[in-house]
Amino acid sequence: MVMMMALLFVVVVVAAGACDLGRGPPRPSAWNAGDEKATSSWEQQLRDAARASIATLDNGPSAIKRMLDPRFDVYRLLVIDGHLYVHESFLRVDKSRKFATLVAMVAHRLPNVVWLHDSGARSSARSLNGSLPTTLLSRRVDQKGILVPNPYFGRRSIGTWDKDRSRFEKLRIPFERRIPKVFWRGSVGSKRSCSQGTGNYARLQAVTLTTCREDLFDVRCQHGCADGTNTTFDPTCFPRDDDFFDLKNLATTRHFVDPADYSKYQFLLNLPGSTSGSYSRNLNHLWAMGSVVLLWHSPYVEWYYAALRHGTTHLSVDKSSILHAIETLQNDRATRDRLIRNALEVDRRLVCGTCILDFVVDVIHLIHDHLDGLLDDDDNRLLATLNYMLYGDEVMTTRL
């Protein structure tokens, strides 16, 4: 009996330490420190951000010649006369193949242009190319690169995305009838190196919230956590100033929740990607649900973050502020309604299917203009470039 009481005491002490949640007010992420008084439209803000990132990159004939180097076969895209050309090695990477499919859908709207694309969460092309025009799915605020949409909108492809969004809209229920909890499902754990698993730190912090306050949180690990103790991450990778790693009872589930059912919850949480803390496909769905969107602090940005504003389109949260955020929203209907209304506007104006395709077209036109339209000349150089791309023959004109 004494031993059982001692064990119970130990469990309570561990849980109490791990559940010592802060109540600090939410604060904007570093990337969210833009001009709150900006008068330009959200769409224009995205174009301006893309133009600014492109302006810092190399251009001219030398840049084009370098991008045609065989070292970049796995990263290069070339559009000539409305047709997209990529090396077979580009298509071996699933994310790259899906991005090529997206570009091919709008190739007839594109100018003659060449650029690089790296779909990796930790871009390896950047370490090779320096400052060549390179599109990325996400990057840190302080890194170079041209942000474009990730290719995981829609169950099969971007072509089905607007149908999915219509399905989400039909399934929405009034906010007051929704489950008054914060919802998230995903994986925790990675067999990669410590430097490639930084997103797990945030995910583990978030998953412990459910054990601490199940009345407010339904944030559960669906993959990688096994029974809640055998995660595939290495806890020595992360700081030890947080005692949540001592909590053995992580909130897990094997139950799959269809994205269409996310709208049953009042608050939807997005967490950094598990591999490197960059983008997460989960966020693609959240704006359309009619819920309050919560973004966990992360230094990584996606293509439409330039238009997002903490307190307007979403709330930026972490372990020390999320409890304060939820308690505040429960008692502040005006703020809650504003966040929901603007989240739906993000879905309607920034991440709809046609919005995504239009943005890709705009960005590639900006890359074309940055390269001075050098592939527009109707001379032998076009044929030489295409021949080089398809057959690898080292045919170069003096112009390159």
Q: Which pLDDT tens digit goes with each residue over 56-71?
A: 999 988 898 888 888 8
Q: How far is CA 290 from the centre of its chain?
A: 20
Average the pLDDT over 72-100 and give the result: 90
Average the pLDDT over 34-52 and give the result: 82
pLDDT computed for residue 221 by the predictor: 82
Distance CA(200)–CA(271), nearest Å, equals: 9
Say which residue the tokens 């439409």 belong to: 304
Provide the percentage of residues in the chain whose pLDDT is more than 90.
45
Other residues' Cβ atoms within 10 Å of the Cβ of residue 354: 10
Of these ranges, 5-19, 81-95, 214-228, 334-348, the one predicted with the greatest mean pLDDT is 334-348
pLDDT computed for residue 212 by the predictor: 83
Residue 358 pLDDT > 80: yes
Distance CA(35)–CA(223), nearest Å, equals: 39
| Chain segment 95-147, per-residue pLDDT in tens | 899 999 999 999 999 999 999 999 876 555 555 556 899 999 998 888 889 99
Which residues, including other chains, have CB under 8 Å from residue 346's CB and lie 6 or more apart?
Answer: 42, 287, 304, 307, 308, 313
| Chain segment 159-176, per-residue pLDDT in tens | 889 999 999 999 999 999
The whole model's pTM is what? 0.84
pLDDT computed for residue 222 by the predictor: 78
**Which domains occur in the chain, in start order?**
42-153+354-391 (no CATH), 157-350 (3.40.50.2000)
Residue 260 pLDDT > 90: no
Provide the percentage of residues in the chain whose pLDDT is more than 70.
70
Distance CA(173)–CA(60), nearest Å, equals: 54
pLDDT computed for residue 207 by the predictor: 84
The pair of structure tokens assigned to 52 is 């600014």
Average per-residue pLDDT in the chain?
79
User: What sign for the dihedral angle of Cα 147, 153, 157, 161?
Assistant: negative
Residue 209 pLDDT > 90: no
Amino acid at 25: P
Nearest to 210 by CA among 201, 219, 199: 219
| Confidence tier at 399 by pLDDT (50, 70, 90) | very low
Nearest to 119 by CA among 146, 99, 101: 99
Say which residue the tokens 């390179």 belong to: 134
The strand ranges marked E within 107-246 are 113-118, 134-136, 139-140, 146-147, 179-187, 217-223
pLDDT computed for residue 55 by the predictor: 95
Distance CA(310)–CA(278), nearest Å, equals: 18
pLDDT computed for residue 23 by the predictor: 63
pLDDT computed for residue 14 by the predictor: 34
pLDDT computed for residue 122 by the predictor: 57
Which residues, including other chains, have CB under 8 Å from residue 360's CB and lie 6 or more apart?
Answer: 102, 103, 106, 148, 149
| Chain segment 313-349, per-residue pLDDT in tens | 999 999 889 999 999 999 999 999 999 999 999 999 9
Residue 206 pLDDT > 80: yes
Distance CA(252)–CA(246), nearest Å, equals: 16
More confident residue, 248 or 294: 294
Distance CA(246)–CA(255), nearest Å, equals: 25
- Tell the burial category of 137 from Cβ atoms under 10 Å away from its Cβ (0-12, 13-18, 19+): buried
pLDDT computed for residue 186 by the predictor: 84
Distance CA(221)–CA(251), nearest Å, equals: 6
Other residues' Cβ atoms within 10 Å of the Cβ of residue 118: 26
Other residues' Cβ atoms within 10 Å of the Cβ of residue 235: 12
Which residues, including other chains, have CB under 8 Å from residue 303's CB and lie 6 or more apart?
Answer: 46, 50, 147, 148, 149, 359, 363
pLDDT computed for residue 5 by the predictor: 33
Checking phi first, is residue 177 left (phi over 0); if not, alpha (psi -120 to 50) or beta?
alpha
pLDDT computed for residue 393 by the predictor: 39
- Tell the burial category of 124 from Cβ atoms under 10 Å away from its Cβ (0-12, 13-18, 19+): exposed
